[in-house]
Amino acid sequence: MKVVPKVNTDGFYLEDEVVDDAFSGVVPFYAQPDNTDQNEDTEPTTPELVGYTVGVPITTPGLFKPQFNLAAWRAYESAVYEAQEAYISAMGEWQAKGRVAEEQPVYVAPKQPEKLWIEGLTPEQIAELTKPATPSEGDKLRQRLKDLELVITELMLGE
């Protein structure tokens, strides 16, 4: 068993899910509609896409709001499909030539993109999150109380 991230439909990290070790890829998950108020005459409602279970680990450390790049993943899946189709076509041609005309075609899978996990926050949002905290009124009062306690202690020791 292994832990993989779940993301919403925009690719933002939601939570982790425990899956089988063989799990890979990106698989949609759905919310099951409440069918309790339906009678036999109404059409059943279809489940609503809620997000995806992602078999690609978060490899970029330090992300404030991890986001899985679904567009890059879809482009990668398209490239894999096209490569498979080209291979199947080349194998068909090779077999039609009697398997001796040339060397047997070899399937070459496209390379998976490296940066599928990206930062979901803008630089401005990150700056806002990481700016030093300004002292609150409570902090100021605590510091003033400590200063007064120090003054009282020095006065008592000085007598």
Q: Which long-range contacts (CB under 8 A, 24 or more apart) does 20-23 make?
A: 23/53, 23/55
Hey, what are 14's tokens? Answer: 């939601």
Hey, what are 2's tokens? Answer: 């292994």
What's residue 98's pLDDT?
78
Residue 143, H or E segment? helix 137-158
- 159 occurs within a structural domain: no
pLDDT tens across 39-91, in order? 666 777 788 999 999 999 888 888 999 999 999 999 999 999 999 999 999 99
Whether 121 shows a pLDDT value over 90: the answer reads: yes
- 120 occurs within a structural domain: yes
Print the domain residue range for 125.
2-154
Residue bearing the bigger pLDDT, 145 or 33 = 145
- 46 occurs within a structural domain: yes
- 52 occurs within a structural domain: yes
Its pTM stands at 0.71
Report the amino acid identity of residue 113.
P
The answer to whether the CB of 1 falls within 8 A of the CB of 22 is: no
Distance CA 35, CA 87 (A): 45
Of the candidates 49, 46, 1, 48, the one whose C-alpha atom is nearest the C-alpha of residue 27 is 49
Residue 41, H or E segment? none
The answer to whether the CB of 5 falls within 8 A of the CB of 51 is: no
What's residue 159's pLDDT?
60
Domain count, the chain: 1
